[in-house]
Amino acid sequence: MSLFFGKLTAFFTVILIIPFLAGCGRGEGKEKTASNGGQERVVKVSIQEIIPHPMKDILVLPGHSEPWLDILVPSDMAGRIEWLGPREGAKVRKGELIARVDSGLLKAALDRAEAAFSLTESLLKRRKELRGRNIINQEELDRSLTEYSLAEGALRHARIEYEKSFVKAPADGHINYVYADEGEFIDRGKPLVHLVNIDRVKITINVPELDVSHVSKGQDAIITIDAFPGKTIHGSFDFIAFKADPATKTFPVRAVIENPHHEIRPGMIARVALIRKIAQDALSAPMFSLVERGGERLIFIEKNGIARARTISIGIIEQDRVQITGGLSPGDRLIVAGQSELEDGTKVLVQ
């Protein structure tokens, strides 16, 4: 009998527990639904207070560095190279001797011309004396004057030709390449050496027709060289083309920078910044704070613990910030972290 009552007690205990457990399960489900609802969800965010500040509309255009002077120094005459001085890398000054070409042969021609001129000069002097005493007629004196003029011209020509045998540097610079060696025969006009001057460097860029009005001669140029990351170089614009390239509709513009230590070498990739516009009191936001939703650009503003979505219009872009021309006001608390998880009206916790 006691066994029967024990089993009966256990049965009623189970019957009473099942509804209780079922009721508890329904209560937990409602709590989860409430915690997952839009009004109950809280997103942790970071904010940035909006303060007006100047922004620059900057256009960056690529170019490459060129030497200030780039000269192929030729031989002014055909002949054998008797002497060749500076080699690659050597620094030369304007007027410094670079090479001699057949100077011995031309010196002999100059000596003959000087002797012939000296003879005609002496003859002219004697005939002038004889004419003064009426010993010779005027015709002989005139003939002597003609011979003197011809000898003088021949002497001038011989001197010029002799000077041509001495090839001199037309400007200060460095020898970049030597095209011949001593003992070689060279034709007139053929290059002997390649001379470059990189004390100053030119940067040429192609400016679109809509932006060329923002450039003027003498204007400061802000330049970066890919070979020197993080370094900004200041130069100035010294030439703006008067005619656009008909194919690209761009205007070649040249900037010049000083290069006293010769760090910048010709052929390096450069980038020149053009300032098209300056907005003095711009309201801006980091690019990463913008959200694309349904083809619209949005930002989220925190106000009293609630995220509010705003549709915006943009203006100037400077590095990683963008000017907001509509949808933002000074003092707004812009959400800059966590915004991708937000909807309008979401509760937020500012960290």
Joined together, the tokens standing for residue 142 give 């005139």
Per residue in 22-42, pLDDT (tens digit) is 333 333 333 333 444 445 689
Question: What would the mean pLDDT of 306-312 be, rounded to a whole number?
Answer: 92
* pTM (predicted TM-score): 0.64
Residue 285 CB neighbours (<10 A): 22
d(CA 88, CA 197): 13
Q: pLDDT at residue 16 above 50?
A: no
Phi, psi of 246 (to 5 degrees): -65, -25
Joined together, the tokens standing for residue 162 give 């002799």
Beta bridge partners of 177: 194
Q: Domains in the chain, start-ordered, CATH in brackets? A: 60-67+197-280 (2.40.30.170), 73-191 (2.40.50.100), 283-350 (2.40.420.20)
Phi, psi of 302 (to 5 degrees): -90, 130
Say which residues have a Cβ less than 8 Å from residue 5's Cβ, sequence separation at least 6: none
How would residue 57 be classed by pLDDT, with cut points 50, 70 and 90? confident
Q: Give residue 172's pLDDT.
A: 95
d(CA 55, CA 51): 12
Per residue in 167-200, pLDDT (tens digit) is 999 999 999 999 999 999 999 999 999 999 999 9
Range of weakest confidence among 18-27, 80-89, 268-277, 336-345? 18-27
